[in-house]
Each structure stands twice: as structure tokens, then as C-alpha cells.
Amino acid sequence: MAEPLVAADGVWRFFGDFAALREVTCSASAGECIALLGPNGAGKTTLLKLLARLAKPQKGGLRLPAPERVGYLGHGLGLWDELSARENLRFWANAYRAPASAAETWLARVELDHVADAPVRQFSRGMRQRVALGRAFLHSPDLLVLDEPFTGLDARSVTLLQAVLREALARRATVVVSSHQIPEVMELATQSWKLERGRLQSGVTQ
Amino acid sequence: MIADAWKVAAKDLRSEWRTKESLNAALAVTVVLLLLFSFAFDPGAEDSKLWSGGLLWLVYSFAAALIVNRGFARELPNDCLEALRASPIPPGALFLGKAFAGFVLLLAVELAALPAFLVFYNVSLTWQAGWVAASFALATWGIAVLGTMFGALTVNLQMRELMLPVLIYPMMMPALVAAIEITGASIQRQAIPEIWLRLLTGFDIIFTALAVLLADVVLVD
């Protein structure tokens, strides 16, 4: 059996005395799409931040790809408003050791190449989210960590996100995605992880 | 690490050039304070040569607080700091890049305001100008790197505009004293004691090393 790309082994994470994650053990292999489900405050964002290396587990171990092989899209867009869409994506392409052409490819992919030199501050919310999608995907990561990426998207952007997620899965990337828009996520998911008060309930394979 | 630091610095400088938020504020504060102090004290008096170097660096330190405050605060909208921390850019490179951008901006403010100082206080810095220029560069780097380090620590505090100066002013005293002594010696046309340049160099090495070594602890939750 192939080694998992992502694995958590008995992971605990505390905020003061409060255990946000309690002995979480899970794994995902290349090409899998994990739907991370659970009510508000269940620990979904905390687990995603651990997978994105934004925090470290206080107990337990994690197996993760190298940082340049991970794409992360959190609640914030990770874009500088005063810079243009092109400047933003070029910076991130450079940061992730991707060729500069990746920025141009993704500007076209998210259908913003015609406004690529306008400052992001002039963009609508939907346009900004499309630039942020480009940011997370432009280096063709092996692991995509997405925290509620469907929230606030218009229908066109939902279709685009589902298409790029399908493309990522087709090239055997692993996707871990939390969402309250369960139908959109479950359409793609091969497995779901359900968190309840920081504890992972039994995984459900589709 | 240097290449990553340069990417961050170039991005910060480009952002600042577009908005000029901290540049305009720091330059305005510097010139206004220099002007006000020139009314409060008699710049024509002979003893002004004794204290004007100190006054210049105190004013520069106020400008520094404004500039280094923006270093990490610039990353708060849209959670850019989180995106940077998740990226392969090492925390040390992020620190160095931000410190370098702060250094360039602060040095630009210092140089832009320097003619106003020379005119208002009727002094000259041509005596041993090479050493004076070196002291400006060394002191400004020290202040920028120290401010960037504490800027990262205070970035999530609600009162960061107040907390940052409270934390950095005591820490930057050695660099400020050295810069004041060198500037004062040049104004008074005296020999510049080498000890102050050594102190500035040591200060810069220690705080640059600390910033790079502690970056991981400060930036990773």
C-alpha cells in the first residue's frame, strides 16, 4: 500500500487549557479529496492550520509534504490590495519557486488577464477570490489545504473552483477541504473526516 | 535566504511606494518636529552644536517607530501574514526582508529631512563625512532590525502603535547613543571615537543574528 502523503498521529492542540484537537489520527494518500466536516468550533480550522504548517501540534506527530508542495487558502485571501493581480501572483509564484509564467497561466485560468494590471483593491469580492484561487493553485501543489473556499463565491466562481479541484485531483494532488456547503464538497470528496469538539469521528469512505 | 528576503523587501517597498502611508507620515513628523524644536531652542547659540546631534536622532527615532510599525501591520489585511507563514519563505528571510525594507524607507526619510536639519540648526556634517555616513547606515540598520523584531511581536496587539515604541526605545538606546556621539563629534569638528562605530557594528550583528534565529519562534504559533 502506498505511503500516505498526509498523516496525523495522535495530534493534540491546545489553546490555553482548551483542547482544540484531541488525539486526532488520520491520513490521506495522493489523489484523495477529504471533506473536513463538523460544526463551528469543532477544530476544523485548527487542523487545517496544522496541515498548512501555521501551527505545530503540542502532542503527536504530523507527516506533511515540503512547504513548497503545499497550497493553502484560509479565510483571508492572502493578497495585497495596493498591488495588481499580476504583481500578487508573480510574488507568490516566486515564493513557491514556480516559473513566472505560472502567474500568467493562472491569470488567464481565473479569467482576470484583462484586468491583470489593476490594483486588487479595485476588484469585486468575487474577482479577489478568483485571484486568491490562482495564488493557492499556481505552483501545482501536491497538497491543497482549503478552509471554506466556497463561502461567498458566486455561481461562476463555484464552477471554476470545482473545475480546478477536479484538475488537481486528476494529477493526483491531495485535497483537504472544509466547508459548510456540503453538496459542493461531497461531489468531489473521496473521504470525509468529521470533527466533534476536537475529536475525529470515524472516517467515511464514499 | 537572501533571495527570499529580497523578494519580501521588494514587495514591501513596492507596496509602500504605492500608498506612501508610512513614508509621508514619517517625513512629515520629522520635518515638523525639527522645525518646532528650532523654535523652542536657539539654534544660533554656540552650544546648539552640543545638543543638535542628539535632537536629530531623537526625531529620527520617532520616524523609525512609524515606519517599523507598518512592517508587519501591512500583512494584516487579507491575512497576508498567514499566507506568508504558510509559504516556503523561511521566517528568517521574512524578517530580513522586512528589516531591509524598513532600513531603506527610514534612510530615505533621514536623508530627505537632513537638509532641513542643517538649515534650521545652522550646522554642518561635512567633518569626517565618511564616518558620519557609515554611522547613519549602521544606526539605521540597527533600528530597523530591532523595530522589525518587536514589530512582529506586537503586530497582533490592539495597542501596537503605543506598545512598539515603549518596547523598542529602551532597547535601541545603545545605537542611538552611538549615533548621537558620532553626529555630535562631526558637528563640533572633533575626532570621532572609533568605539562608537564598533558599538554600532556590534549592535547590528547581535540584533540581526537574534532576529534571524528567533524568527521561527516569533512567527510560528
Q: What is the pLDDT of residue B40?
A: 85
C-alpha torsion B152→B156→B157→B163, nearest 10:
20
From A14, which residue of chain B is nearest by alpha-carbon distance?
Answer: B221
pLDDT of residue B10: 96
Q: DSSP labels for A139-198? A: T--SEEEEESTTTT--HHHHHHHHHHHHHHHHTT-EEEEE-S-HHHHHTT-SEEEEEETT
Q: Find, in chain A, the residue whose alpha carbon is nearest to that of B94.
A: A95
User: What distance in Å separates the CA atoms of residue B168 and residue A83, rounded to the nearest whole number?
Assistant: 30
CA distance B87 to chain A (A): 6
Q: CA–CA separation, B187 vs B47, rounded Å?
A: 11
Whether the CB of A91 is below 8 Å from some CB of chain B: the reply is yes
The whole model's pTM is what? 0.89
- Mean residue pLDDT of chain B comes to 91
Whole-angstrom Cα distance, residue A124 to residue A111? 14
Query: Residue B98: its pLDDT value, please?
Result: 96
Cell of A65: 509534504
Contacts of residue A40, Cβ cutoff 8 Å, sequence gap at least 6: none
Phi, psi of A175 (to 5 degrees): -120, 130
Q: What is the pLDDT of residue A206?
A: 44
Q: Which residues of B touch A52 (CB under 8 A)?
A: 86
Q: Taking a contact as any Cβ pair under 8 Å apart, which residues of chain B between 34 and 93 contact chain A?
A: 74, 77-80, 82-89
Cβ-nearest to B7 among A70, A82, A95: A95
**Cell numbers at residue A150, please?**
466556497
Residues from chain A contacting residue B78 (CB–CB below 8 Å): 76-81
Per CB-CB distance under 8 Å, the chain B contacts of A76 are 78-80, 82-83
Q: What is the distance in angstroms between the Cα of A72 and the nearest Cα belonging to chain B? A: 7
* Nearest-Cα residue of chain A relative to residue B80: A78
Cβ-based neighbours of B176, under 8 Å, separated by 6 or more? B57, B58, B61, B139, B143
Residues on chain B touching A68 (C-beta within 8 angstroms): 88
Residue A72 forms contact with B (CB below 8 Å): yes
DSSP H helices, A80-154, are: 85-95, 101-109, 125-137
CA distances B61 to B9, B67, B144, Å, are 21, 10, 10
Which candidate in B12, B78, B94 is best for mutational testing of the A interface (most A CBs within 10 A)? B78
How many angstroms away from the CA of B30 is the closest CA of chain A? 25
Can you state the angle between helices A85-95 and A101-109, rounded to 10 degrees?
A: 130
Q: Across the interface, do B4 and A95 touch by the CB < 8 Å criterion? A: yes
Smallest CA–CA distance from B11 into chain A, residue:
A91
Nearest to A68 among B7, B15, B88 (CB): B88
CB contact, 8 Å: B220 with chain A? yes
A119 touches chain B (CB under 8 A): yes
Tell whether B217 lies on the interface with A, counting CB pairs under 8 A: no
Q: Closest Cα of chain B to A67: distance in Å? A: 5
C-alpha closest to that of A43 among A202, A200, A198, A192: A198
Which residue, B135, B143, B137, is CA-closest to B186?
B135
Indicate left, alpha or beta for A43 from its phi (over 0: left) and psi (-120 to 50: alpha).
left
Q: Which residues of chain B have pLDDT under 50?
A: none
pLDDT tens by residue, chain A, 206 residues? 568 889 999 989 999 889 889 998 999 999 999 999 888 888 999 999 999 999 899 999 999 999 999 999 998 999 999 999 999 999 999 999 999 899 999 999 999 999 999 999 999 888 999 999 999 999 999 999 999 888 878 888 888 999 999 999 999 999 999 987 777 778 888 898 999 999 988 654 44
The per-residue pLDDT for range B194-213, each reduced to its tens digit, is 999 999 999 999 999 999 99
User: For strand A70-73 and strand A59-63, is the pairing parallel, antiparallel, or unpaired?
Assistant: unpaired
